[in-house]
Amino acid sequence: MADAATVAKLKTKAKMLRIASVKLVYQAGSGHPGGSLSAADIVAALFYHQMKYDAKNPDWPDRDRFILSKGHCTPLLYSVFADVGYFPKEELATYRRLGRLTGHPNPKLPGVEIATGSLGQGLSVGHGMALAGRLDKRDYYVYVLLGDGELNEGQVWEAAMSAAHYKSDHLIAIVDNNKVAQDNMTAAMKNVEPVDKKFEAFGWQVYRIDGHDMAQIVDTLAAVRKVKGKPVVIVADTVKGKGVSYMEGKPDWHGKAPSEELYRKALDELEKG
Amino acid sequence: MGTPATPTANEAATRDGYGNALIKLGASDSNVVVLDAGVSDSTRTNKFQEKYPERFFNMGISEGDMVCTAAGMAKCGKTAFATSFICFLLGRSMDQILVSVAYSDSNVKIIGTHAGLAIGEDGPTAQAIGDVGYMRAVPNFIVICPADAVEAEKAIIEVAKRKGPAYVRLGRGNVRTIYDDNYNFEIGKASVVAEGNDVAIIASGIMVQESLAAAEVLKKEGINVRVINMSTIKPIDRQAIIAAAETGTVITTEDHNIYGGLGSAVAEVIAEENLDVKFSMIGVKDRFAESDSQKVLFKKYGLDAEAIAVAVKKAIAAKG
């Protein structure tokens, strides 16, 4: 069971990441706040608790890998990367401007394992990394963060078939199931539910959790490493835009920057939250 | 995809050169991994599978998944060969090639077999005629189309040595072996396979064979044709094109659409270098073919030695 101090620390980190994400989008004048806010708790638990890595030695062969398959959520990714030291915090000023902090991640930036931004590719890439780890007799885990809208992509299910076939138990998929895509609610557009039953039918070990319950996230991330012989998916039910009242559950806030007024309101709510 | 003829001592398919190269690479480099999308008997990756089963991954009929899996392996230090029939390999995974391989600069070799109308009877859904065009347009990629099995084997070895993305276009059918083991394949370097100064033909892949056959016929009529094997289409050998232009006439031949392929690549150099030369392209004239043997299709669609000979004579007549 997750201890209270760890949970409290991670909640503080998640709050910091949310604030930093909204700041980045506001500063750049564009970007994707909704899916960054929904995944902040999961990402905090991974980077400040579960994953083993060394930001000063990003190519360490035994590191756990993280792939942001929902590649548009760079406000969150770059916020955590800057905080853990993959690059200097001052560089955040160049987000979505010339340089390494492209709108979607690219591997010229330390910490980025592979370019993403075209949805549906990350799970296959992560599986390749898991297979390579097995060949090399390394014990690292590969975490792939997907969006629920992304599950519309057929390749996700190709990868799901492959990973089950190869019994890749060092591949951990996490679905940020925020139920909202760019255009609409995913259920109204092309329904992906029941997500858990689909993965189960593909031969995966499935966990379904509240993606904003830090204790549950921490416990689940520990539990999945005990699974042998099959890949694992954590379906994390989340709220898109979590923490900013006017963004919560709204497709409109998938990919745009707030006005100055709304930005102040967002910061205010996140600070208090 | 039908049963190919048994190779003779002087004949083999370029895909066989690939299979042979993989066995050598498997022995020399434990980081070489091979992936296939459910057609390993046809692509010859099954040879590697027999010897190195733990490093062979059959991903089933899911090319996009295969390419990205290869990219993941490459990012963990592997030299990953992702293989299938060109039509499906590229047709199903251009986005994956673009993002996970090219933009990510992954050490993935995209190896496509069954190029062009030469595959014959399976018809247009299996006849890759746009692939060189697609791949030339992708940054970070080199594009290679070997002319025989010896060159294919050497090219694969070189491509493995060079870190980074590469596309190699291979054929299904047996072709005459024109190189011997002493041939020194170099990425980006064309080779002259027939000497002559009346006309220069710049060819790739199976069309090197057809062009040589045309040159042999024309020689008997007193016309000396230089045949240049432009096996690396990107980066292209500009000096070889500049030298070819000195003959006054350049004809390109490819089993590929005339748009986007070797002909286009040579035309770009001619235009950029302001070369004073008569230029024409032999290839598939922006249309879909049909099913029949390679021989019948090459004749009907103007790719055989006879069509090349006619084009050469026409060019010489125009010179006056």
Distance from CA of B88 to the nearest CA of A (A): 14
- B301 to A193, B133, B254, B258: CA distances (angstroms): 51, 19, 12, 12
Q: Give the 3-state DSSP-derived string for A11-66, with helices as H, strands as E and coil as C.
A: HHHHHHHHHHHHHHHHHHCCCCCHHHHHCHHHHHHHHHHHCCCCCCCCCCCCCCEE
Residue B101 belongs to some domain of the structure: yes
Q: What is the CATH number of the domain that holds B272?
A: 3.40.50.920
Are residues B26 and B159 part of one domain?
yes
Distance from CA of B100 to the nearest CA of A (A): 6
Q: Does the CA dihedral A126-A132-A135-A141 come out positive or negative?
A: negative
B-chain residue closest to A162, CA distance:
B59
What count of other Cβ atoms lies within 10 Å of the Cβ of residue A165?
15
Is residue B193 a contact partner of residue B212, using CB atoms and an 8 Å limit? Answer: yes
Q: Which two tokens stand for residue A101?
A: 């902090």
* Three-state DSSP state, A142: strand
Q: Pick left, alpha or beta for residue A8 (phi over 0 → left; psi -120 to 50 → alpha; otherwise beta).
A: alpha
Distance from CA of B28 to the nearest CA of A (A): 17
- B271 to A127, B174, B266, B276: CA distances (angstroms): 46, 35, 9, 9
Q: How many CB pairs under 8 A join A and B?
A: 104
| CA neighbor of B169 nearest in space, from B179, B156, B181, B180 | B156
Q: Which two tokens stand for residue B15?
A: 């895909």
Would the CB atoms of A107 and B70 count as touching at under 8 Å? Answer: no
Mean pLDDT, rounded, of chain A: 97
Are residues B122 and B70 part of one domain?
yes
**Which residues of chain B neighbour A124 with C-beta distances below 8 Å?**
64-69, 71-72, 96, 100
**What is residue B5's predicted lDDT score, i.e. its pLDDT?**
41
Name A237's Cβ contacts closer than 8 Å, sequence gap at least 6: A177, A208, A209, A210, A211
Closest by Cβ to B75, choosing from A120, A129, A136:
A129
Would the CB atoms of B60 and A162 count as touching at under 8 Å? Answer: yes
**What is residue B59's predicted lDDT score, i.e. its pLDDT?**
98
Phi first, then psi, for residue B288 (nearest 5°) are: -90, 145
Last residue of a domain, one of B120, B150, B176: B176
Is residue B296 a contact partner of residue B116, using CB atoms and an 8 Å limit? Answer: no
Question: Where in the sequence is the domain holding B233, given as residue range(s)?
Answer: 191-319
Distance from CA of B170 to the nearest CA of A (A): 25
* Three-state DSSP state, A189: helix
Q: Pick left, alpha or beta for residue B213 (phi over 0 → left; psi -120 to 50 → alpha; otherwise beta).
A: alpha
For tokens 């027999």, what's the residue? B50
Are residues B302 and B243 part of one domain?
yes
The H-assigned helical ranges of B198-304 are 206-220, 238-245, 262-272, 294-300
Last residue of a domain, one of B150, B176, B202: B176
Are residues B93 and B60 part of one domain?
yes
Enzyme catalytic residues of B: 63
**Residue B131 class from Cβ within 10 Å (0-12 exposed, 13-18 middle, 19+ buried)?**
buried
pTM (global) more than 0.95: yes
| pLDDT tens, chain B, 320 aa long | 333 344 455 999 999 999 999 999 999 999 999 999 999 999 999 999 999 999 999 999 999 999 999 999 999 999 999 999 999 999 999 999 999 999 999 999 999 999 999 999 999 999 999 999 999 999 999 999 999 999 999 999 999 999 999 999 999 999 999 999 999 999 999 999 999 999 999 999 999 999 999 999 999 999 999 999 999 999 999 999 999 999 999 999 999 999 999 999 999 999 999 999 999 999 999 999 999 999 999 999 999 999 999 999 999 998 76
Which B residues, 78 through 97, put their C-beta within 8 Å of a C-beta on chain A? 78, 80, 95-96
What proportion of chain A, given as a percentage, has pLDDT over 70? 100
Distance from CA of A173 to the nearest CA of B (A): 15
Are residues B162 and B31 part of one domain?
yes
Are residues B207 and B143 part of one domain?
no
Last residue of a domain, one of B111, B141, B176: B176
Are residues B210 and B165 part of one domain?
no
pLDDT for A40-98, tens place per residue? 999 999 999 999 999 999 999 999 999 999 999 999 999 999 999 999 999 999 999 99
Residue B279 belongs to some domain of the structure: yes
**Which residues of chain A neighbour B65 with C-beta distances below 8 Å?**
124, 155, 158-159, 161-162
- CA dist., res. A140 & res. A125, Å (int): 15
Which B residues, 214 through 253, put their C-beta within 8 Å of a C-beta on chain A? none
**Which residues of chain A neighbour B140 with C-beta distances below 8 Å?**
none
Are residues B312 and B234 part of one domain?
yes
Would the CB atoms of B68 and A125 count as touching at under 8 Å? Answer: yes
Are residues B146 and B60 part of one domain?
yes
**What is residue A25's predicted lDDT score, i.e. its pLDDT?**
98
- CA dist., res. A268 & res. B123, Å (int): 64
Instruction: Supply angle C-alpha A196, A198, A204, rounded to 5.
Output: 75
- CA dist., res. B132 & res. B259, Å (int): 9
| CA neighbor of B286 nearest in space, from B169, B129, B111, B166 | B129
Quote the number of domains for chain B: 2
Would the CB atoms of A155 and B62 count as touching at under 8 Å? Answer: yes
Q: What is the CATH number of the domain that holds B24?
A: 3.40.50.970
Q: Which domains does chain A have, with CATH numbers?
A: 4-272 (3.40.50.970)
**What is residue B9's predicted lDDT score, i.e. its pLDDT?**
59
Residues in chain A whose Cβ is within 8 Å of chain B: 61, 106-107, 113-118, 120-122, 124-133, 135-136, 142, 155, 158-159, 161-162, 165-166
Instruction: Supply angle C-alpha A69, A75, A77, rounded to 5.
Output: 50
Residue B2 belongs to some domain of the structure: no
**Which residues of chain A neighbour B165 with C-beta distances below 8 Å?**
none
Is residue A129 a contact partner of residue A159, using CB atoms and an 8 Å limit? Answer: no
Would the CB atoms of A114 and B71 count as touching at under 8 Å? Answer: yes
pLDDT-derived band at A273, boundaries 50, 70, 90: confident
pLDDT of residue A265 exceeding 90, the answer is yes
pLDDT-derived band at A34, boundaries 50, 70, 90: very high
